[in-house]
Amino acid sequence: MERLIVVSAILPIHLQKEGKEYTVKVSPGGLVTALKQALKKRQAIWIGWAGVNRLNKQMKELIVKEGTKEGFILYPVPFTDEERKNFFDGFSNGIIWPLFHTFQAYARFEPSYWNAYKSVNKKFAQIIKRVIHKDDLIWVHDYHFFLLPEYLKKAGVKNKTAFFLHIPFPSPELFFKIPWRIDLLKGLLQYDLIGFHTYIDRKNFLDCINELIENVNIQIKEPVTRISYNGKTVKIGVFPISVDFDYYEEKAKSAKPLDRRRKIILGIDRLDYTKGLIHKIKAYRLFLQKYPELHCKVKLVQAVAPNIKKLPEYDQLKVEFEHLVSDVNGKFGTDRWTPIQYISRRVDFEKLIRYYRYSDVCWVNSIKDGMNLVGKEYAAANIDENGVLLLSEFTGAATELHNNCILVNPYDIEGTADALYRALTMSLEEKSQMMKRLRKHIRRFNIGWWSNAFLETAFGKKIEDFPILED
Ligand code: GDG
């Protein structure tokens, strides 16, 4: 029986030390949300970092037990402090993440990061080799594992491997900055399938291959492009990720009402410079200056979930963001009105659904985003069909949803402030027509569509073909 082996840098749950005890935490981010919904409690074995640098028997058992409750078979991997610093925070989140999101100035091209990237990819290949059976299918996620298939081959693993990139792929101009650019591309070409969110990502990737790799043959065809290199062919596809529409819709039906004396503008983001949080507060400040008639009538509810990455950029961002928020609240707030309700923690799921259902506007302001699930979750839960999605042009979601939302360029502070005003003052009829179209699209292209499109192209299988985990 074929099993699905899922690999991602971090597991859907991880351990965190609180005082002397380790507690289990839900890992932040869209990859976890999407895969949780995509895997549907199948007997997939999920291999990834457990958040700690050592794992004793008790810790292993704890994570495996909690994972099973959530519907996964987890295989936790510890990272040494060096691996965390140089592989996770270093190469992955200190080079690839900023550069691929157009934040070139944040990329630090340290050779020690590159060495760690190679050795952790090798380490995962060794672990997979120990776990794998002959017919298993390997589904690798994200930018931490460009070199994994090469090490798997070297370790003698012949199983099929498919890879999905959750972040954007940059243009050659950016990608060329990486000193190890050719090794990264050659590594990726060892997969059997590479999936991107958008056609732009695919084009950027193909442009990089064309410019940097000699003796390749690229056959561009829809829906699947093929690249032959070194006696091997890899498929390239576009699979825009999505959400479990029915689940959000169902949960929204029983959501308790929110206080709606004021119109709610909602922001749900991880603490990350890619999410355009500074630009958002600047645009909101200008909006309050330009449209005093809406003072006391609106409120921005902005949740900022903590980040797991330990890098100075995130500490600086938090300071700058909180400074701006207090500036706006100090300048415009009154005894009865706080213009920004800032939530500096992870909102629980039930509350998240209430916000999605009852907010008048959901505002996604990313500077760059692979897809962005928040806008899709909002639409799925906005069952009264009276909300508006204000969406950055620079999200993957915008390439798909542009006709059914209001687009903003986050760099254009005044244009964004005006777009927010428009979103808040549109007629109910116009809003509901837009939201209906948006929901229709996401209902059809939901997470089930995504996982099956990917798995069929990769392995000729559907998610339903894998056995379900018994309770
Ligand atoms: C990467 C790519 C791509 C956030 N705050 C809270 C909370 N969340 C949940 C949201 C959503 C997820 O986290 C965030 O997903 P995004 O897609 O917006 O962004 P990334 O984390 O950057 O994800 C992204 C994604 O991978 C999938 O491929 O779309 O472009 O960067 O699910 O709901 N959940 C709760 N409380 C919070 O405060 N409960």
Ligand 1 atom 1, closest CA = 30
Taking a C-beta distance cutoff of 8 angstroms, is the pair 151, 122 a contact? yes
Ligand 1 pocket: which of 371, 442, 451 to mutate (most atoms <8 Å of CB)?
371
Atom of ligand 1 nearest to the CA of 197: 28
- What average pLDDT does range 441-466 have in this prediction? 96
pLDDT at position 261? 92
Atom nearest to 166 CA in ligand 1? 28
Residue located nearest, by CA, to atom 33 of ligand 1: 374
For residue 350, how far is its CA from the centre of ligand 1 (angstroms)? 16
Q: Which atom of ligand 1 is nearest to the CA of 28?
A: 13
Catalytic residues: 166, 369
Q: Is 163 left (phi over 0), alpha (psi -120 to 50) or beta?
A: beta
| Of 32, 70, 266, 268, best ligand 1 pocket probe by most atoms within 8 Å of the beta carbon | 268
Q: Which atom of ligand 1 is nearest to the CA of 164?
A: 28
Looking at residue 344, its amino acid is: S
Q: Write out pLDDT tens, residues 364-402.
A: 999 999 999 999 999 999 999 999 999 999 999 999 999
- What is the distance in A from the centroid of ligand 1 to the CA of 377? 10
As a whole number of angstroms, the distance between CA 247 and CA 63 comes to 25
pLDDT digits (tens, 9 = 90+) for 25-75: 989 888 888 898 888 888 899 999 999 999 999 999 999 999 888 888 999
C-alpha closest to that of 376 among 248, 464, 236:
248
Ligand 1: centre distance to CA 310 (Å): 18
Ligand 1 center–CA 400 separation, angstroms: 18
Cβ pair 442, 379 in contact under 8 A: yes
Q: Is it the case that residue 471 has pLDDT exceeding 80? A: no
| Lookup result for tokens 């542009």 | 402
Ligand 1 pocket test target in 373, 442, 451 with most atoms within 8 Å of CB: 373
Q: Over 90: is that where the pLDDT of 1 sits? A: no
What spacing in Å lies between the alpha carbon of 335 and ligand 1's midpoint? 34
**Strands of 191-332, DSSP E:** 193-196, 216-219, 225-229, 232-238, 263-270, 298-305
Alpha-carbon distance 432 to 158, whole Å? 52
Determine the distance from the C-alpha atom of residue 366 to the mean position of all C-alpha atoms in its chain, rounded to a whole number: 12
pLDDT in tens, 240-288: 999 999 999 999 999 999 988 999 999 999 999 999 999 999 999 999 9
- Please tell me the distance between residue 290's alpha carbon and the centre of ligand 1 in angstroms: 31
Average pLDDT over every residue of 300-304: 98
Residue 286 is predicted with a pLDDT of 98
Q: Give, for ligand 1, the residue of 270, 274, 304, 378 to mutate: max count of ligand atoms closer than 8 Å to Cβ.
A: 270
* Strand pairing report for 388-392 and 406-408: parallel
**Ligand 1 surroundings by CB, under 6 angstroms:** 29-31, 33-34, 166-167, 241, 268, 270, 303, 305, 346-347, 349, 352, 369-374, 377
Residue 307 has pLDDT above 90, yes or no: no
- The per-residue pLDDT for range 310-319, each reduced to its tens digit, is 899 999 999 9
pTM above 0.95, yes or no: yes
Q: Which atom of ligand 1 is nearest to the CA of 370?
A: 30
β-pairing verdict for 161-164 and 137-141: parallel
Cα of 164 vs centre of ligand 1, distance in Å, is 16
